[in-house]
């Protein structure tokens, strides 16, 4: 069975959904193919195992292999990462935009235009600070930073609230915003359908081979294809399609290490994350709060369960926090013949390791200053930290090889620009050596921006989509 | 700011900082000059005699390592009394000296100061309890988690903790944390440093972009006195350093330039070693120290590829600290002082 | 070495890890956890699954020689590269499942209230 489309958009996340909406609204006949299912906001409890089952790739168990391995999460659902992330929104910092423009020689990359697009996105997604007061876990981070005189802020989120209660928030994810817009403008969306390979000859892609959940194969013919599968799936698909030049080589993430803090009062809100972040050491280091449901708390304490396990019964008094770094190291995504999923690897540099250790200790200091009675750093055989003296024991025993490391931000595997030996697409996402294969997701960002990247992904995707429309006429 | 005390007790008075401090406190023309008794701890009678030559200085022979050794120092005090505790050992004979002098010594001085009801104690600490920065642009903030660097770092960390214990029992003590000193009254090892730089043999390890905070000794004197007289809560600590950290390349170039300007013969050659040498020396240093011994050169080499850099913003804001001398001028004055003393560089 | 179905090897190993870590977890609950862990491991990205498969086969084989309980106890206590990751994987999945499904569980796995 086969079908046709003007433009095939692969993936429906922070890159794919705006791309589909803008192109459909400009009159293109758009087909969006999404590997995951459509799960509406509110159908699954955020950060639950059920949500991981339904909306994460591989049930949430994915890792970049290395010494140490870094666990990551990837969405696999309509709306992509925007459906499952924390909703925290940060514009790309000006110095990051400048660095991308100069170091990667990206043409036509005007900061004012990027920020104008951010204004639009912020309106569309109703980006706003929380109404009322933040959770206890969030306030604790703020309190600790204040006592140390370290700069911190509250990050707005793309949510609507029906009342002044934070719990009334509804996330303005892609399934609530750009995907309905795309469908309203005539785009078709096929969920539960994977693109196995693009058929490319002589630099021109003509069709895509798809398979659904039952394994039934179909073909789609198209004039243009825009790959928005995210920083792992996009390079894997391109590689499977014979496009390998500089693709999948420069995976950039924000490696994080965690700790759990115990307080005298109840402060845990299991299905929400803190909105405060400590930015004193930005861009190298930032601290924030993580989802702290009982299951995730048990996971965070499991590195030294013998010593930490007894805390789990007080889970209402516990919250998990992370220290994230911008990494000098890089990773690779490699599609392997005969295997459905790519191999993902990552390497940390010495500076990354030192920064993670110092970062975790600084975070522990913040939590002590916030009034935590005990702090449980998430690494093998870690000590309980009750006071400043224990911080010395902590730094003395920490090693990234012992830590449960993770990242939720994945970027840069198909970097855009005109930088020799690095750029895999031109300044607007056209894959080098092709005439009609484009990428429009986090893979394009030349490096991980040091902040929650969704805003950057969306701004770049919208800019590229507009250029596409302008240049090819409608 | 408070008025200077009637009696200022100084430990470590014969040391690098101690001499600079005493020179300032006893000089009526110095902005920090003060009337009143400067009671200086000496470890021997001859040392005491040398100290006693300065006007207003009353030497007392004693030993920080025991409570009994401090009895005379804190005996017969009248009026308001401040203590400046600068006694310590950086490069000892054996590792046990770290504990005896730095940790136990501080504990003894703090306990004696509390028992004597002193107005304030200023403890001269170090960057060493905090380790090294994870990369060249990182800066230690005013509050940092402990990560002691080897035996010295541990001993100075424990010294701070013992001091804070005494603060908890009612002592008014504050902490000043200086990094690498430079300036007049420098000891022999600093002379060696100048000679090595002059002959191009002082190694730059790695690419030389690692940063080091340094403190010109007069800047440190300012910081110590401001900490002593400031209205600040007990237990507070501040970094006291030059305005900004310096790249190792810059340090070597500045010293060479200052030596040349003083008329000395300076080579164009420059020994550079790969970064791994610093890390190997650090590993070796750790092993040597664990065996109880201490090898200064190994320790210094192990630190040379590291960044140790602090941010003085809080000292500026809370104490009004303003370092007046920076590297170029400070090195010029150090060299002049050396040549005036007849020290060959 | 006789080949055993991989799923069974993984289930046996998970069972041992949980029995060692959470000895007071009721056996019905432990069976649930083992089933969950097995489902998740079956859903791993293919390269990871291959890695786990190799380790699981080796562990299963060794376990039949020295006793799985003893081997698991050793691996649970000592961090051996690669094998340690296998333990950590099973452990993370198990703990997350237990405390999400039965939040009122004591650290040794026994139900509270």
pLDDT in tens, B313-328: 999 999 999 999 999 9
Q: What percent of chain A has pLDDT over 90?
A: 93
Chains B and A touch (3+ CB pairs under 8 A): yes
- Separation of alpha carbons B218 and B254, rounded Å: 19
Q: A391, B314: Cβ pair inside 8 Å?
A: no
User: Do A330 and A250 meet the contact criterion of CB atoms below 8 Å apart?
Assistant: yes
* CA A296 centroid distance within chain: 19
User: Do A188 and A31 meet the contact criterion of CB atoms below 8 Å apart?
Assistant: yes
User: Do A11 and A228 meet the contact criterion of CB atoms below 8 Å apart?
Assistant: yes
Contact of A392 with chain B, judged by CB distance below 8 Å, is answered with yes
CA distance A388 to chain B (A): 7
Using DSSP's 3-state secondary structure scheme, residue A373 falls into coil
Q: C48, A65: Cβ pair inside 8 Å?
A: yes
| Crossing angle for the helix pair A111-124 and A454-472, to the nearest 10 degrees | 110
- Separation of alpha carbons A262 and A312, rounded Å: 10
Per-residue confidence at B38, pLDDT binned at 50, 70, 90?
A: very high
Instruction: Report whether pLDDT(C113) > 80.
Output: no
Q: Which are the contacts of A37, defined by CB distance < 8 A and separation ≥ 6?
A: A54, A55, A77, A78, A191, A192
Q: C100, A342: Cβ pair inside 8 Å?
A: no
For the segment B330-340, the average pLDDT, to the nearest whole number, is 95
Instruction: Report whether pLDDT(C4) > 80.
Output: no
Q: Which are the contacts of A193, defined by CB distance < 8 A and separation ≥ 6?
A: A33, A34, A35, A210, A211, A212, A218
> Given this model, what pLDDT does residue C64 score?
86
Query: pLDDT tens digits for A175-224?
Result: 999 999 999 999 999 999 999 999 999 999 999 999 999 999 999 999 99
* CA B340 centroid distance within chain: 23
Using DSSP's 3-state secondary structure scheme, residue A100 falls into helix
Mean pLDDT of chain A, nearest integer: 95
All structural domains of chain A, each given as residue ranges with its CATH number in brackets, are 2-38+77-125+172-248+413-472 (3.50.50.60), 133-169+255-407 (3.30.410)
Q: Which of A58-67, A328-337, A351-360, C51-60 has the lowest mean pLDDT?
A: C51-60
- Separation of alpha carbons B4 and A465, rounded Å: 71
User: Do A275 and A134 meet the contact criterion of CB atoms below 8 Å apart?
Assistant: yes
> Given this model, what pLDDT does residue C77 score?
76
All structural domains of chain B, each given as residue ranges with its CATH number in brackets, are 7-182+214-242+309-323 (3.40.50.720)
- Separation of alpha carbons B174 and C21, rounded Å: 48
Q: A396, B147: Cβ pair inside 8 Å?
A: yes
Q: Across the interface, which of A351, A354, A391 has its CB nearest the CB of B145?
A: A391
Q: C45, A57: Cβ pair inside 8 Å?
A: yes
> Chain A contacts of B143, Cβ < 8 Å?
148-149, 365, 369
Q: C107, A299: Cβ pair inside 8 Å?
A: no
Phi-psi region at A230: left, alpha or beta (left = phi > 0; alpha = psi -120 to 50):
left
Which H or E run contains A195? Answer: strand A193-201
User: Do A205 and A436 meet the contact criterion of CB atoms below 8 Å apart?
Assistant: yes
Q: Which DSSP string do the residues of B78-142 spell out, in sequence order?
A: -S-EEEEE----SS-SSTHHIIIIIIIHHHHHHHHHHHTT-SEEEEE--SGGG--BSSTT--B-S
CA distance B136 to chain A (A): 10
Per-residue confidence at C3, pLDDT binned at 50, 70, 90?
A: very low
CA distance A270 to chain C (A): 10
| Residue bearing the bigger pLDDT, B173 or A471 | B173
Would you give the DSSP letter of residue C111? Answer: B
Contact of C5 with chain A, judged by CB distance below 8 Å, is answered with no
- Which chain C residue has the Cα nearest residue A343? C47
User: Do B48 and B60 meet the contact criterion of CB atoms below 8 Å apart?
Assistant: yes
Q: Under an 8 Å CB criterion, which residues of A touch C?
A: 48-49, 57-59, 61-63, 65, 69, 293-299, 301-302, 305, 309-310, 312-313, 315, 336, 339-344, 380, 402, 404
Instruction: Report whether pLDDT(A473) > 80.
Output: no
Closest CA to A19 of A313, A224, A284: A224
CA distance A302 to chain C (A): 7
Per-residue confidence at C105, pLDDT binned at 50, 70, 90?
A: very high
Q: Which are the contacts of A170, defined by CB distance < 8 A and separation ≥ 6?
A: A41, A42, A159, A160, A161, A162, A176
Query: pLDDT tens digits for A216-261?
Result: 999 999 999 999 999 999 999 999 999 999 999 999 999 999 999 9
Question: What is the sign of the dihedral through the CA atoms of B30, B34, B37 and B40?
Answer: negative
Q: Are strands A188-190 and A30-33 parallel, antiparallel or unpaired?
A: parallel
Which residues 150-179 of chain A have a CB within 8 Å of chain B?
150
Mean pLDDT of chain C, nearest integer: 89
- Separation of alpha carbons A113 and A467, rounded Å: 12
- Separation of alpha carbons A46 and C29, rounded Å: 24
User: Do A353 and A341 meet the contact criterion of CB atoms below 8 Å apart?
Assistant: no
Which residues is B8 bridged to in the sheet? B38, B82
Tell me how many degrees the CA angle A5-A8-A14 measures, rounded to the nearest 5.
Answer: 145
Closest CA to B62 of B45, B82, B46: B45
Per-residue confidence at A1, pLDDT binned at 50, 70, 90?
A: low
């Amino acid at each position: 069975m086969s079908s046709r489309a003007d433009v095939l958009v692969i993936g429906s996340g922070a890159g794919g959904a705006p791309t589909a909406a803008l192109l459909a609204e400009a009159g293109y006949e758009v087909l969006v193919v999404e590997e995951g299912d459509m799960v509406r906001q509110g159908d699954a409890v955020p950060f639950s195992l059920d949500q991981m089952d339904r909306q994460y790739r591989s049930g949430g168990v994915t890792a970049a292999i290395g010494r140490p391995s870094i666990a990551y999460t990837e969405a696999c659902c309509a709306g992509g990462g925007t459906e499952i992330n924390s909703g925290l929104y940060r514009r790309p910092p000006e110095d990051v935009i400048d660095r991308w423009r100069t170091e990667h020689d990206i043409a036509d990359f005007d900061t004012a235009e990027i920020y104008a697009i951010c204004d639009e996105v912020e309106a569309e997604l109703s980006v706003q600070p929380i109404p009322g007061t933040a959770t206890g876990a969030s306030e604790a981070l703020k309190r600790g930073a204040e006592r140390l005189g370290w700069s911190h802020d509250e990050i707005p989120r793309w949510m609507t609230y029906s009342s002044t209660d934070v719990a009334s928030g509804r996330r303005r994810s892609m399934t609530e915003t750009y995907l309905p817009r795309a469908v309203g403008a005539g785009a078709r969306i096929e969920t539960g359908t994977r693109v196995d390979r693009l058929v490319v000859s002589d630099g021109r892609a003509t069709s895509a081979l798809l398979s659904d959940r039952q394994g039934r194969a179909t073909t789609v013919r198209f004039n243009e294809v825009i790959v928005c599968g995210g920083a792992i799936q996009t390079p894997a698909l391109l590689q499977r399609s014979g496009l390998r030049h500089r693709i999948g080589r420069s995976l950039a993430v924000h490696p994080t290490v965690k700790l759990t803090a115990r307080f005298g009062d109840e402060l845990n809100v299991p299905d929400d994350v803190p909105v405060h972040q400590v930015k004193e050491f930005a861009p190298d280091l930032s601290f924030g709060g993580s989802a702290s449901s009982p299951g995730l708390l048990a996971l965070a304490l499991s590195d030294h369960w013998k010593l930490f396990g007894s805390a789990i019964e007080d889970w209402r008094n516990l919250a998990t926090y992370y220290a994230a770094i911008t990494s000098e190291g890089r990773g690779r995504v490699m599609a392997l013949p005969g295997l459905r999923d790519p191999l993902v690897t990552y390497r940390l540099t010495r500076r990354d390791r030192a920064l993670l250790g110092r970062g975790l200790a600084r975070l522990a200091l913040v939590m002590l200053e916030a009034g935590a009675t005990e702090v449980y750093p998430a690494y093998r055989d870690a000590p309980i930290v009750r006071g400043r003296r224990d911080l010395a024991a902590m730094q003395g025993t920490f090693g990234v090889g012992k830590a449960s490391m993770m990242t939720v931000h994945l970027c840069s595997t198909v970097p855009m620009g005109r930088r020799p030996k690095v750029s895999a697409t031109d300044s607007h996402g056209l894959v080098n050596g092709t005439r009609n294969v484009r990428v429009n997701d986090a893979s394009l960002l030349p490096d991980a921006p040091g902040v929650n990247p969704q805003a950057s992904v969306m701004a770049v995707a919208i800019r590229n989509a507009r250029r596409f429309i302008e240049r090819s006429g409608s | 700011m408070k008025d200077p005390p009637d009696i200022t007790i100084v430990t470590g008075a014969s040391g690098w900082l101690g001499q600079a401090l005493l020179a300032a406190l006893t000089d009526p023309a110095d902005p920090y000059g003060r009337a009143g008794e400067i009671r200086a701890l000496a470890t021997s009678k001859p040392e005491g005699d040398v100290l006693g030559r300065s006007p207003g200085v009353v030497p007392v022979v004693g030993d920080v390592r025991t409570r009994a050794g401090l009895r005379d120092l804190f005996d017969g005090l009248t009026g308001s009394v401040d203590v400046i505790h600068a006694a310590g050992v950086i490069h000892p004979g054996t590792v046990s000296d770290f504990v005896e002098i730095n940790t136990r010594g501080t504990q003894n001085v703090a306990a004696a100061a509390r028992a004597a009801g002193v107005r304030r104690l200023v403890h001269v600490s170090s960057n060493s309890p905090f380790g090294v920065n994870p990369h060249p642009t990182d800066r230690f903030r005013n509050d940092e988690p402990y990560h002691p660097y080897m035996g010295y770092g541990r001993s100075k960390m424990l010294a701070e903790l013992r001091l804070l214990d005494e603060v908890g029992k009612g002592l008014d003590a504050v902490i000043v944390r200086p990094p690498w000193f430079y300036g007049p009254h420098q000891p022999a090892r600093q002379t060696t440093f100048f000679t090595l730089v002059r002959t191009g043999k002082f190694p730059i390890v790695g690419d030389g972009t690692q940063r080091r905070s340094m403190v010109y000794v007069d800047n440190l004197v300012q910081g110590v006195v401001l900490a002593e007289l400031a209205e600040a809560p007990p237990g507070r600590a501040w970094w006291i350093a030059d305005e900004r950290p310096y790249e190792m390349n810059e340090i070597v170039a500045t010293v060479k330039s200052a030596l040349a300007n003083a008329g000395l013969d300076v080579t164009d050659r420059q020994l550079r070693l790969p970064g791994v040498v610093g890390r190997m020396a650090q590993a070796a240093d750790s092993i040597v120290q664990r065996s109880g011994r201490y090898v200064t050169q190994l320790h210094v080499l192990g630190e040379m590829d590291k960044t140790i850099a602090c941010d003085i913003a809080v000292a500026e804001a809370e104490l009004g600290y303003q370092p007046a001398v920076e590297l170029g001028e400070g090195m010029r004055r150090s060299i002049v002082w050396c040549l005036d003393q007849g020290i060959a560089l | 070495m006789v080949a055993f179905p991989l799923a069974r090897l993984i289930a046996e190993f998970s069972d041992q890890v949980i029995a060692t870590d959470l000895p007071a977890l009721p056996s019905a609950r432990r069976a649930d956890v083992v089933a969950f862990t097995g489902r998740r491991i079956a859903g791993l990205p293919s390269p990871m699954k291959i890695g786990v498969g190799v380790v699981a086969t080796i562990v299963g084989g060794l376990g039949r020689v020295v006793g799985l309980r003893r081997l698991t106890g050793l691996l649970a206590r000592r961090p051996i590269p690669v094998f340690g990751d296998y333990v950590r994987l099973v452990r993370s999945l198990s703990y997350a499942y237990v405390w999400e499904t039965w939040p009122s569980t004591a650290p040794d796995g026994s139900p509270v209230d």
